[in-house]
């Protein structure tokens, strides 16, 4: 990675403005349902504390659309972060308080502050120049540790960097760039990509970019039914995007030996635990039935390929994993990835739904790296330039 990182800068007695991603899932009563995104930022924050810098954390939560929404306050995050760090995290509710800069200027090295939800202000998503300049004025150094937002050119992810003396990557950002860059540069071979998920539209760019880089591109999930439909097969009530018909035809026309489609599918008559299921060939899908996962033959074929891999990327579930009756293929594919990883492969998992699947399977800690980005990860794998990364200072 050719970007400056937090370790390249002297932090002592400096105010470090850190863009984090605390867009955490909340329960109906406003409690944090999963603190993974908070714990992911601890190495960067603890490094600042250890080096006697003042950590000023900025983030968004949810989609308040430029208005104050009490239920989307970051106050609960400050409380949870305090517990994880074992010290007080000062929550700043009023970003424009006349005394804020004085408070930050007088803060002792090792202090931690968390500012209120930036998306309470419409200027954030508009990348407003004055708002960007104001945020930059709160710190001496800007650190972006929010990879999941790096594909957005917002005030706190892009604009602020233009008005900061230094704009560098945090440790989480550094890890993301390192692992994802490896997938696009010179990965060890055989290199296998498992691309799934419901919508082909979301994965089209990834498929197009990876097809020339991998040895095997294994298609799965709901997106395969676009291919089957174009090929003239009955798909029943399976998911299908008619707007992507021409793009799907173009992928088929590539006639690439690297591109693999399922040969059989698990279908169900409904999406509940008491559903009737059948394992059928792709030309035997029944009317009014729904394709819910890979079939046994395809699962074995894909698993055998994965077990021989030295580099693996998995983006998008291979089927509906939320229903236990449909989870068998996901379990087998996950086990194959773990097996390959134990044998020395580098395995990178991306996408929120894929990570949720890993968590349910209990193998999240058994792969090489789990990306924290959703859309950002996909855009990176598409080969796109991400504004939040592009704006960071280059190493000289």
pLDDT, tens only, 262-301: 999 999 999 999 999 999 999 999 999 999 999 999 999 9
pTM (predicted TM-score):
0.92
Residue 22 and residue 74 in contact, taking contact as beta carbons nearer than 8 Å: yes
DSSP annotation string for 278-347? EEEETT-PPTT-EEEEE-HHHHHHHHHHHHT-SEEEEES-SS--SSGGG-HHHHHHHHHHHHHHHTT-EE
Dig out the tokens for 343 from the structure: 């044998």
CA-wise closest residue to 318 among 310, 326, 307: 326
- Catalytically annotated residue among 62, 109, 110, 375: 375
Long-range contacts for 75-82 (Cβ within 8 Å, ≥24 apart)? 75/116, 76/26, 76/30, 76/31, 76/32, 77/22, 77/24, 77/32, 77/38, 77/114, 78/114, 80/32, 80/35, 80/38, 81/38, 81/45, 81/57, 81/112, 81/114
159 included as an active-site residue:
no
- Catalytically annotated residue among 3, 14, 37, 237: 37
Percent of the chain scoring above 90 in pLDDT: 91
Residues 6+ apart with CB under 8 A from 297: 263, 264
Residue 314 and residue 337 in contact, taking contact as beta carbons nearer than 8 Å: yes
- Catalytically annotated residue among 52, 352, 360, 364: 352
What does DSSP assign to residue 97? -
At 201, the pLDDT band (50, 70, 90 cuts) reads very high
- Taken in order 258, 261, 264, 267, the sign of the CA dihedral is positive
- Catalytically annotated residue among 199, 201, 278, 366: 199
State how far the alpha carbon of 176 is from the alpha carbons of 6, 45, 184, 389, in Å.
Answer: 15, 17, 13, 11
pLDDT, tens only, 286-342: 999 999 999 999 999 999 999 999 999 999 999 999 999 999 999 999 999 999 999
351 included as an active-site residue:
no
199 included as an active-site residue:
yes
Domains of the chain: 6-171 (3.40.50.1260), 178-381 (3.40.50.1260)
375 included as an active-site residue:
yes
Please report the pLDDT score of residue 49 as a whole number. 98
For 62-83, what is the mean pLDDT? 96
Please report the pLDDT score of residue 241 as a whole number. 94
Q: Angle CA(342)–CA(317)–CA(324) in degrees, nearest 5?
A: 95
d(CA 349, CA 192): 12
Task: For strands 167-169 and 141-144, give the pairing.
Answer: parallel
pLDDT greater than 90 at residue 374: no
d(CA 358, CA 115): 32
For the chain, the average pLDDT equals 95
CA–chain centroid gap for 1, Å, is 19
pLDDT, tens only, 225-256: 999 999 999 999 999 999 999 999 999 988 78
Q: Is the peptide bond before 293 cis (omega within 30 degrees of 0)?
A: no
Please report the pLDDT score of residue 36 as a whole number. 86
Residue 350, judged by CB atoms within 10 A of its CB (0-12, 13-18, 19+), counts as buried
């Amino acid at each position: 990675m050719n970007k400056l990182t937090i370790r390249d800068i002297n932090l002592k007695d400096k105010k470090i403005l850190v863009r984090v991603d605390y867009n955490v899932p909340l329960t109906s009563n406003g409690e944090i349902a999963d603190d993974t995104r908070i714990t992911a930022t601890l190495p960067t924050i603890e490094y600042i504390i250890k080096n006697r810098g003042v950590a000023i954390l900025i983030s968004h939560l949810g989609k308040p659309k430029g208005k104050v929404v009490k239920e989307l306050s970051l106050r609960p995050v400050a409380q949870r972060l305090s517990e994880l760090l074992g010290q007080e995290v000062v929550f700043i509710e009023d970003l424009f308080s006349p005394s804020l800069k004085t408070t930050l200027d007088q803060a002792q090295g090792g202090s931690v502050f968390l500012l209120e939800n930036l998306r309470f202000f419409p200027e954030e998503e508009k990348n407003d120049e004055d708002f960007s300049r104001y945020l930059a004025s709160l710190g001496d150094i800007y650190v972006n540790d929010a990879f999941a937002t790096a594909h957005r050119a917002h005030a706190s992810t892009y604009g602020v960097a233009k008005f900061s003396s230094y704009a560098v990557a945090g440790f989480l950002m550094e890890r993301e760039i390192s692992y994802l860059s490896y997938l696009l540069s010179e990965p060890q071979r055989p290199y296998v990509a498992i691309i799934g998920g419901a919508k082909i539209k979301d994965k089209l760019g990834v498929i197009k970019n990876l097809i020339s880089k991998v040895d095997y591109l294994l298609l799965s999930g709901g997106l395969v039914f676009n291919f089957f439909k174009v090929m003239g097969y009955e798909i029943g009530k399976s998911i299908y995007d008619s707007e992507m018909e021409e793009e799907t035809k173009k992928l088929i026309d590539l006639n690439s030996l690297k591109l693999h489609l399922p040969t059989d599918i698990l279908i169900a008559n409904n999406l509940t635990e008491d559903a009737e299921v059948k394992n059928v060939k792709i030309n035997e899908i029944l009317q009014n039935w729904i394709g819910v996962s890979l079939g046994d033959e395809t699962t074995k074929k894909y698993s055998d390929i994965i077990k021989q891999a030295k580099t693996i990327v998995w983006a998008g579930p291979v089927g509906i994993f939320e229903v236990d009756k449909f989870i068998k293929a996901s379990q087998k594919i996950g086990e194959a990835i773990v097996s390959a990883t134990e044998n020395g492969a580098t395995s990178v998992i991306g996408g929120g739904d894929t990570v949720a699947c890993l968590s349910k399977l209990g193998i999240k800690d058994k792969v090489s790296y789990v990306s924290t980005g959703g859309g950002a990860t996909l855009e990176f794998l598409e080969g796109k330039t991400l504004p939040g990364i592009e704006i960071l200072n280059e190493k000289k």
